[in-house]
A and B are shown apart, each in its own frame.
Chain A
Amino acid sequence: MLTTQDSTKNSAIKMVLWQICLCIVYAGVLCLAAGMQSGWSALLGGMSYCLPNFLFVRRVFAQTTARAATQFVIRFMVGEVAKLFSSAVIFVLVIKYFAVKTIPALSGYIVVIIGFWFISMLFMLREGKVSQ
């Protein structure tokens, strides 16, 4: 049986998986509309945010008990800084060392971030419906 803590972690991981799906779909659409290299660039740009986000969620939601709340906040802050910095560094490395187009890669990066807003709003709405 799943505990509340497990379901919290599972929901967070599910959101990141939805984000990865969004990245793949966007890259596919761009691949069809503007060519293979644009699709590849969008995929790499999007993944440079998705992968640090996935690792962040795995690490931060390792312990979710009430007693570990302060530890959770500390892990959250440190993880957030690491995520922001590492995603930006990976993005710049992708742009610099891979044969990618700048605009599709940047658009993939931005779509993945803004798309996460909508995913989180959908989850909030669903959570509200479940609790009613």
Chain B
Amino acid sequence: MEIASLVAQVQGFSAVAAGLLIGLAALGTAIGFGVLGGKFLEGVARQPELTAMLMMRMFLVAALVDAFAAISIAMGLYLFFANNPFLGAVMNAAKPAVGA
């Protein structure tokens, strides 16, 4: 019974962690891309002849903005759908108690 509640606790906290990972990544990226896109359109409106250069710069800066978002979304989905490493640790610790 105690082990079941431990497993449930770990699963619950893992779900909260995964939700925070994905949510905060989305929030940060959304703010970053909002600012980036707005500034790009401002720049193009002022100097249309620089459009191609600004597009390239936007692509370069976007790579910096989305890096951590990509990592944290992958980690969040990993916790949700693949093996939960924290759960594995609990199960390994519980093996002697269960006698498996």
Contacts and interface: CB of A to CB of B under 8 A. Distances in A.
Contacts of B53: 4, 8
Contacts, number: 93
Most chain A beta carbons < 10 A, residue from B40, B52, B71? B52
Interface residues of A, number: 42
Contact of B71 (A77, A110, A124): A110
A12 B71 contact: no
A61 B56 CA distance: 9
B93 interface: no
Chain B, interface SS category: helix
Contacts of B64: 117, 120
B33 A77 contact: yes
Given A12-B59, A77-B33, A95-B82, A69 B74 contact: no
A84 interface: yes
Given A8-B52, A120-B60, A109 B81 contact: no
A85 B73 contact: yes
B18 to A, nearest CB: 11
Nearest to B22: A88
B55 A88 contact: no
B71 A89 contact: no
A95 B83 CA distance: 9
Interface size for chain B: under 10, 10 to 19, 20 to 34, or 35 or more residues?
20 to 34
Contact of B52 (A4, A106, A123): A4
Contacts of B57: 124
Contact of A66 (B33, B48, B62): B48
Interface in B36-85: 37, 40-41, 44, 48-49, 51-53, 55-60, 62-64, 66-67, 69-71, 73-74, 76-78, 81-83, 85
Interface of B: 29, 33, 37, 40-41, 44, 48-49, 51-53, 55-60, 62-64, 66-67, 69-71, 73-74, 76-78, 81-83, 85
10 contacts: A4-B53, A5-B52, A8-B55, A12-B59, A70-B41, A80-B29, A83-B66, A88-B77, A95-B83, A120-B63
